[in-house]
Copies of this chain bind each other. A is one copy, B any other.
Amino acid sequence: MILDGKLVSRKILESVKKNVEELGIQPHLAVILVGDDAASKIYVKNKKKAAEKVGIKSTIIELSETISEAELLRQIELLNNNKDVTGILVQLPLPRHIDKNKVVMAISPKKDVDGFTPENVGRLAIGLEPYFYPATPQGIIMLLDEYNIPIQGTDAVILGRSNIVGKPMAQMLLRRNATVTMCHSYTRDLEDKIKTADILISAVGKKIVRCKMVKKNSCIVDVGIFRDSNGKLTGDVDFDYVSDSAGFISPVPGGVGPMTIASLMFNASKVYE
């Protein structure tokens, strides 16, 4: 059974659009893009397009590769204080001379649509409602819920411990009463751990889930997306190998990718300040 992220994301975007119409005030997402990274430009354009579709105003603030950290922080401060802007997003990666953490921490938690600030991460960790949940794990939970995949009491295994996916995913699955195991590059006997997973979330960025032995009827969520040696878009999971055993599997492309965008738009439609 395919977890169809394209289909589900459309449904979510429609409901976000309806919510925006009923808000009475138009949300306004400011997207900061530093430098000329081609991939970043595409991501930012896609976010703008998605925002327009659901009635969210968006402004792309293009800044030079050579901008100083202090000047970038000043720009964020201006956006924090701008009552017309309801959400702020800094497209990563940033140039090397800029401290990413400092920049993320400068964003007001109430406008932090990515959910990356310590305040929002901390609220998530201690069981309080954050202003925003990180888009990718939130999108994955939405996808699982749409297919009524049980989470409570299951054994969930997460491959990869990034701040963007792995770590917040662990917190969100734990909140839903899964038993959560976090794996990473230092993990021993990875295959044994993969085999125990009722829910497997792979967010590594290389073809890591190859074995036939994923658990029978398990749910496999593939967050990885990259091009293989033939230039074809692919994910962490060897789809053909595991699709016999798995009960549910998210494809790449068309799985987590569109869910992340929909989830981000869900965030961008919230207005706190």
On whether the beta carbons of B174 and A161 are closer than 8 Å, the reply is yes
Q: Is A128 an interface residue (CB 8 A)?
A: yes
Asked whether A187 lies within 8 Å of B193 as measured between CB atoms, the reply is no
Chain B residue, CB-CB nearest to A189: B155
B126–A116 touching, CB < 8 Å: yes
Say if the beta carbon of A127 comes within 8 Å of chain B.
yes
Task: Give A152-166 as 1s and 0s: 1 = Cβ < 8 Å from B's Cβ atoms.
Answer: 110100000101000
Contact A118 B119 (CB under 8 A): yes
Tell me the bound Cα distance from A179 to B157 in angstroms: 11
A117 to chain B: closest residue by CB? B122
**A188, B180: Cα distance in complex, Å:** 12
The residue that A182 contacts in the complex, of B161, B179, B183, B186, with Cβ under 8 A, is: B179
A167 contacts partner chain B, Cβ-Cβ < 8 Å: yes
Q: Which B residue's beta carbon lies closest to that of A168? A: B125
Residue interface mask A106-135, B partner, CB < 8 A = 1: 000000000011111111011110000000
15 new A-B contacts, CB < 8 A, other than A122-B122, A179-B182, are A116-B126, A117-B122, A118-B123, A121-B121, A121-B126, A122-B123, A125-B125, A126-B163, A126-B167, A127-B163, A161-B174, A170-B182, A177-B184, A179-B193, A180-B182
Q: Which residues of A contact B (CB under 8 A)?
A: 101, 116-123, 125-128, 152-153, 155, 161, 163, 167, 170-171, 174, 177-184, 186-188, 193
Q: List 6 A-B contacts (CB under 8 A).
A: A101-B126, A119-B119, A121-B125, A152-B186, A177-B186, A179-B187
